[in-house]
């Protein structure tokens, strides 16, 4: 791109994850200029394997805004999940309990690929290997992103900066000391996730509670399975050779009726920590934070990606009103509007995590409480409906926006 690089834009977006890319896409549809800066290469972000469960609201947004064509073709719609414990499976039927809403299985990196292709095809600015070094001037009218690109330090002057740079990003640090408050929980366990080249042994996702620890059978396609096992917080991949992974999966997912888990070559593996974090408020001056840059949920509820998309939908609505008519009301409500969903989702993710994982210090009392919870969710229609409506995505009344 050389010297013709843009140095002034309306919205400077740090990070080309789901939050930054969806925001750029929504703004473009409303005629608002944005530049997206991403520290990694295109290849890296398109291969980064992460989440795979899209809520109905996320799917609807992508389809309605013209980036859901492949998602509609390749995404796999599910209308239930299975909770498995004591060797038995219990289906939570979303079709009956969540007003017909469901979830779609479609890898996060596929969403990212579709959004990158749409942005580049439209000739819109998206720079890879462009690392933001800091955000300055957020208390004034022209916040600036300092970044490094092609070996040189550069500046992007903006009306507004959107910090969509994930948990390890730099934009959150632009807020002055004491302006933001962080609420957090660490969990004494992590998830080891694998992709295996084998047809899924299940049609619907299985969340399994077992004395050895939690495990999850998910999928990506008719020939690729996605599986997770709870491991210790400090575990390294070397401690988990293939045989151990499969052995734990067989043990934890076992069902009395002879159901079998098929094995296949493991083509990807990562250990992801489990934590809950919320940073409040989600905005300071002309800096708006979205997605993992301001909140993290433990993966058990499959919410991280969906929450990131929900944030930027609200942000785009506020920015459109402000740029079009100078009306700042929605932007002022950005943090409060988002935090309602954020805390509902924190609650759901923490609850699912507590119910399904084996805590290293759990005593018999706590184990019996977990059983009682699982039993209740599987027996009570009201409890199952509560899980279902949160899993498919809460429909919170949102402040009206034009996007």
**Rule CB under 6 A: which residues touch ligand FAD?**
14-20, 37-40, 45, 50-51, 108, 131-132, 164-166, 168-170, 270, 272, 291-293, 299, 302-305, 308
Question: Could you give the CA distance from residue 189 to residue 204 in angstroms, rounded to a whole number?
Answer: 25
Determine the size of the site formed for ligand DHB (CB under 6 A). 10
Question: Could you give the CA distance from residue 253 to residue 14 in angstroms, rounded to a whole number?
Answer: 40
Residue 300's binding partner out of ligand DHB, ligand FAD, none, with CB under 5 to 8 Å set by partner kind: ligand DHB
Question: Could you give the CA distance from residue 227 to residue 5 in angstroms, rounded to a whole number?
Answer: 42
Residue 291's binding partner out of ligand FAD, ligand DHB, none, with CB under 5 to 8 Å set by partner kind: ligand FAD
Question: Residue 305 is encoded by which pair of tokens?
Answer: 């990606």
- Between the alpha carbon of residue 114 and those of residues 92, 106, 200, 311, the distances in Å are 31, 11, 24, 19
Cβ proximity to ligand FAD: between 109 and 337 the closer is: 109
Closest distance to ligand DHB from the beta carbon of 123 (Å): 33
Closest distance to ligand DHB from the beta carbon of 225 (Å): 10
Cβ proximity to ligand DHB: between 207 and 322 the closer is: 207
Question: Residue 101 is encoded by which pair of tokens?
Answer: 């809403």
* Cis peptide bond N-terminal to 281, omega within 30: yes
Question: Residue 337 is encoded by which pair of tokens?
Answer: 């509007």
Cβ proximity to ligand DHB: between 51 and 331 the closer is: 51
Residue 56's binding partner out of ligand FAD, ligand DHB, none, with CB under 5 to 8 Å set by partner kind: none
Site string for ligand DHB, 198-217 (x = CB under 6 A): -------x----------x-
R_g (Cα) of the chain, nearest Å? 21
Cβ proximity to ligand DHB: between 160 and 216 the closer is: 216
Residue (of 285, 325, 300, 294) closest to 312 by Cα position: 294
Q: Is 300 in the site for ligand DHB (CB under 6 A)?
A: yes
Tell which one of 84, 217, 226, 295 touches ligand DHB (CB under 6 A): 226
Task: Enumerate binding residues for ligand DHB (CB under 6 A).
Answer: 51-53, 205, 216, 218, 226, 299-300, 302
């Amino acid at each position: 791109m050389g010297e013709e690089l843009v140095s002034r834009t309306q919205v400077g977006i740090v990070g080309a994850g789901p939050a930054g890319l969806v925001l750029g896409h929504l703004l473009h549809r409303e005629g608002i200029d944005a530049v997206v800066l991403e520290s990694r290469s295109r290849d890296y972000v398109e291969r980064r394997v992460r989440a795979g469960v899209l809520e109905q609201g996320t799917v609807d947004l992508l389809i309605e805004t013209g980036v859901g064509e492949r998602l509609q073709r390749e995404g796999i719609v599910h209308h239930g999940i299975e909770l498995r414990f004591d060797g038995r499976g219990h289906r939570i039927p979303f079709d009956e309990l969540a007003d017909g809403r469901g979830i779609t299985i479609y890898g996060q990196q596929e969403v990212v690929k579709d959004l990158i292709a749409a942005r580049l095809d439209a000739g819109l600015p998206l720079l890879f290997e462009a690392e933001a070094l800091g955000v300055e001037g957020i208390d004034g009218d022209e916040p600036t992103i300092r970044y490094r690109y092609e070996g040189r330090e550069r500046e992007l002057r903006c009306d507004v900066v959107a910090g969509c740079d994930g948990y390890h990003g730099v934009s959150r640090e632009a807020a002055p000391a004491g302006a933001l408050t962080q609420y957090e929980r660490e969990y004494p366990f992590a998830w080891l996730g694998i992709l295996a080249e084998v047809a899924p042994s299940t049609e619907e996702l299985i969340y399994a509670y077992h004395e050895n620890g939690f495990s999850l059978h998910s999928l990506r396609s008719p020939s690729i399975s996605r599986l997770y096992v709870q491991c210790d917080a400090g575990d390294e991949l070397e401690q988990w050779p293939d045989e151990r992974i499969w052995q734990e999966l067989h043990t934890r997912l076992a069902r009395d009726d002879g159901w079998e888990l098929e094995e296949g070559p493991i083509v990807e593996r990562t250990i992801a920590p489990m934590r809950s974090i919320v940073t409040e408020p989600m905005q300071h001056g002309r800096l708006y934070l979205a997605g993992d840059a301001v909140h993290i949920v433990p993966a058990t509820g499959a919410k991280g990606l969906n929450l990131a998309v929900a944030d930027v939908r609200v942000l785009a609505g506020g920015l459109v009103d402000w740029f079009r008519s100078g009306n700042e009301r929605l932007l002022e409500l950005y943090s409060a509007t988002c935090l309602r969903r954020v805390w509902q989702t924190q609650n759901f993710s923490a609850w699912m995590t507590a119910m399904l994982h084996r805590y290293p210090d759990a005593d018999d009392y706590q184990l019996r409480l977990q059983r009682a919870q699982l039993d209740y969710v599987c027996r009570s229609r009201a409890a199952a409906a509560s899980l279902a409506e949160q899993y498919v995505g809460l429909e919170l009344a949102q402040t009206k926006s034009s996007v």
